[in-house]
Amino acid sequence: MSRSSLLDPPADTTSAGRRRIGRRAALVAGVAGVGFGGLYLVGLLASGDDIPEGTRVGGVDIGGLSRSQAREKLDSSLGRAWSEPVEVRVGGTVSTVDVAGISLDSEQTVARAAQEGSDPFTVIGRLFTSGDREVEPVTRVDEAAARASLAGKAKAYNRKAREGDVTFHAGKPVAKRPVTGRSLDVDGAIEALAATVPGQRKGPVRLPVRTTEPRVGAAEVNRAMKRFAGPAMSAPVTLTAGGRKIEISPSTLGKHLTMKPDGDKGLTPVLDGKGLLADPVVASPLALATDKAVNAKLRLDGGRVVVASDGESGQEVTAQALRKAVLPLLTKTGTARTGAVATEGVRPELTRENVGRLGIKEKMSSFTVNFEPEAYRVTNIGRAAELIDGSVVLPGDTWSLNGTVGERTEANGFVEGIIINNNQFEKAAGGGVSTVATTVFNAVFFAGVKPVEYGAHSFYIERYPEGREATVAWGSLDLKFRNDSGNAIYIDARATDTSVTVTFLGTKKYDEVEAVKGPRTNVQQPGSREGSGEKCVPQTPLEGFDVAVDRIFKNDGREVDRETFKTRYVPRDEVTCA
């Protein structure tokens, strides 16, 4: 900054400049003996209402201008700068962002420039010196608009932290590496942009970011793979129970094995004992190695429930016992991967002594479905009825047909038959079980209890009641009901070569349950097509339609409730097999 004395003022060739210099010199000469206060007064009189000489804002010179002139110059020079894209650096990436909601407040900026130039030392100093001074611009910030303009940038940059993990797939351990989380600090970004004059900065504006480190890091994933996951999947484990050996393969173990964060930056193995116990690969051999408890058998005698045979206690393997037996074996090798699983005595749910307490005292409903005596139907319907017979459903519990009957395999006593798949008949294991499903569904319907999951056949089959039938498919569609009757329900299931009957015993929830079917609507005519392959089965044509069935609940001869079951049947195309 250059300096000049009162006797040798700096050159100013403009007429306004010459007048200011002359006025300043005259005033200084007139009050030179007055002291500090006088000099301050002289400085104020010399500058008048003008912005002090040498004042710059964001590189724009507004010195010597009136306030209104300074505002106009700032608006025209800097005001447009915030409307242009701003170059920014987010993490290691440079890009641009269209910033909204941040603009120059020229009025406040000029006021700041004038105020910063009016203190005594600055005013007196200007009498003896000349030079530039930089004033920070004042910006207006509409926070909502600024946040909205940064939302896209934040979304593109932000990334959730991912914990390190180990999973199991097809009998192999799979390491999931941790990922550091990151996010744009939007509040800090707004502050950084508001403090920067676009175009006056060399290089991009660095926007602040935050990082979040995962609790389970790479070192722990490596440890878990080496110390547990790898050994766990290295070979089968063998359990012994009831004099039998039960081998469990790595692929079966992996379906029910996980590793969970332990809260201390570590991974701990977790075995789903309940899921492993229900897995058919484990459940079937365990059933042979233990004696399952047998419920008491009930029958009707003149409308009264009586005990036909008492229940028998048995032995079972619990989910907890299975988990306790298997987990320690997973990190061992060779013959050490064999161990015993504990069994415990279990009483039957239904005995001669507790029939009355459970509220099983009368017939709630009974339904029969007749069928043509094909060999596969006789076998599969009879086997399903055998597995269902004697089921006891306690109050509040949900009963599942798939869970009770199990997968329809040869090992489970089922043979190949006719099913419906992709809207046409074809051959598959367990054909005919839908006849049992329909019978159970109607027993549920007329007992007045709550269906939880059910589905009708895709097209109508004439031997079933319209809108009151059900089918099942292992792994995709089940038949379930919840016992909301308030008392236990005993299911009696019996099959002959031409029919199957399912009876619910318990305590009636309603005096009477009626079914009222509506007319067929939205009728569609079938087409015809030719099938091929070994599984093709010819089928006769039948129209598709919608139908609604009302379930009406009555007490003392009066309707107390009603619900509607709606079913859509697709047309059954005529199929000929090549």
pTM of the entire predicted model: 0.57
Token pair, residue 122, equals: 């600055």
Confidence of residue 419 (pLDDT cuts 50, 70, 90): low
Using CA atoms in the order 199, 202, 204, 206, what is the torsion angle rounded to 10 degrees?
-110
> Stretch 274-290: mean pLDDT, rounded?
88
Residue whose pair of structure tokens reads 């003008």 in the numeric block: 50
Residue 478 has pLDDT above 70, yes or no: yes
Any domain includes 278: yes
What confidence score (pLDDT) does residue 422 get? 58
Instruction: Quote the CA–CA distance of 255 and 169 in Å, as a whole number.
Output: 7
Average pLDDT along the chain: 85
Any domain includes 388: yes
Confidence of residue 370 (pLDDT cuts 50, 70, 90): very high
Residues 375 and 489 in one domain: yes
Residue 51 has pLDDT above 50, yes or no: yes
* Least trusted range by pLDDT, from 90-99, 237-246, 414-423: 414-423
pLDDT digit string, tens, across residues 422-472 = 555 556 556 788 999 999 999 999 999 999 999 999 889 888 999 999 999
Residue 13 has pLDDT above 60, yes or no: no
DSSP at 356: T
Residue 187: its H or E element: helix 186-194
Any domain includes 56: no
What confidence score (pLDDT) does residue 49 get? 53
Residues 470 and 370 in one domain: yes
Residue 38 has pLDDT above 60, yes or no: no
Beta bridge partners of 71: none
Residues 394 and 497 in one domain: yes
Give the other-Cβ count within 10 Å of 420's Cβ.
Answer: 20
What confidence score (pLDDT) does residue 302 get? 85
What confidence score (pLDDT) does residue 120 get? 60
Residue 294 has pLDDT above 80, yes or no: yes
pLDDT digit string, tens, across residues 203-225 = 888 999 999 999 999 999 999 99
Any domain includes 403: yes
Instruction: Quote the CA–CA distance of 447 and 39 in Å, as a whole number.
Output: 107
Any domain includes 203: no
Residue 21 has pLDDT above 60, yes or no: no
What confidence score (pLDDT) does residue 201 get? 65
* In the chain, % of residues over pLDDT 90: 51
First to last CA, the chain: 103
Token pair, residue 308, equals: 């036909």
Residues 447 and 491 in one domain: yes
Final residue of a structural domain among 312, 346, 380: 346
Token pair, residue 226, equals: 């080496």
Residue 1 has pLDDT above 80, yes or no: no
Residues 271 and 383 in one domain: no
pLDDT digit string, tens, across residues 233-273 = 999 999 999 889 999 999 999 999 999 998 888 999 999 99
What confidence score (pLDDT) does residue 566 get? 96
Residues 366 and 302 in one domain: no
What confidence score (pLDDT) does residue 71 get? 86
Residues 320 and 370 in one domain: no
What residues contact 94, with CB distance under 8 A and at least 6 apart? 87, 88, 204
Any domain includes 108: no
What confidence score (pLDDT) does residue 574 get? 86
Structural domain tally of the chain?
A: 2
What confidence score (pLDDT) does residue 325 get? 96
Residues 380 and 446 in one domain: yes
Confidence of residue 544 (pLDDT cuts 50, 70, 90): very high
DSSP-derived secondary structure for 75-126: HHHTTTGGGS-EEEEETTEEEEE---SEEE-HHHHHHHHHHHT-SHHHHHHH
What confidence score (pLDDT) does residue 481 get? 97
Confidence of residue 50 (pLDDT cuts 50, 70, 90): confident
Confidence of residue 479 (pLDDT cuts 50, 70, 90): very high
Any domain includes 320: yes
Instruction: Quote the CA–CA distance of 95 and 117 in Å, as a whole number.
Output: 38
Instruction: Quote the CA–CA distance of 227 and 241 in Å, as a whole number.
Output: 28
Final residue of a structural domain among 346, 370, 387: 346
Confidence of residue 11 (pLDDT cuts 50, 70, 90): very low
Token pair, residue 112, equals: 């700041």
Q: Residue 279: give its domain's CATH number.
A: 3.10.20
Residue 40 has pLDDT above 60, yes or no: no
Any domain includes 438: yes
Residue 20 has pLDDT above 80, yes or no: no
What confidence score (pLDDT) does residue 482 get? 97
Confidence of residue 167 (pLDDT cuts 50, 70, 90): very high
Residues 302 and 237 in one domain: yes
> Stretch 291-295: mean pLDDT, rounded?
87
Instruction: Quote the CA–CA distance of 106 and 60 in Å, as a whole number.
Output: 12
Confidence of residue 339 (pLDDT cuts 50, 70, 90): very high
> Stretch 508-521: mean pLDDT, rounded?
96
Confidence of residue 420 (pLDDT cuts 50, 70, 90): low
Residues 398 and 301 in one domain: no
Residues 286 and 310 in one domain: yes
Residues 397 and 512 in one domain: yes
What confidence score (pLDDT) does residue 63 get? 85
Confidence of residue 522 (pLDDT cuts 50, 70, 90): very high
Final residue of a structural domain among 286, 316, 346: 346
Confidence of residue 16 (pLDDT cuts 50, 70, 90): very low
Instruction: Quote the CA–CA distance of 492 and 443 in Å, as a whole number.
Output: 10
Greater pLDDT, 482 or 61: 482
Residue 503 has pLDDT above 50, yes or no: yes
DSSP-derived secondary structure for 287-315: HHHS---BPPEEEEETTEEEEEE--B-EE
Residue 246: domain span: 219-346
What confidence score (pLDDT) does residue 113 get? 81
Greater pLDDT, 503 or 14: 503
> Stretch 538-552: mean pLDDT, rounded?
92
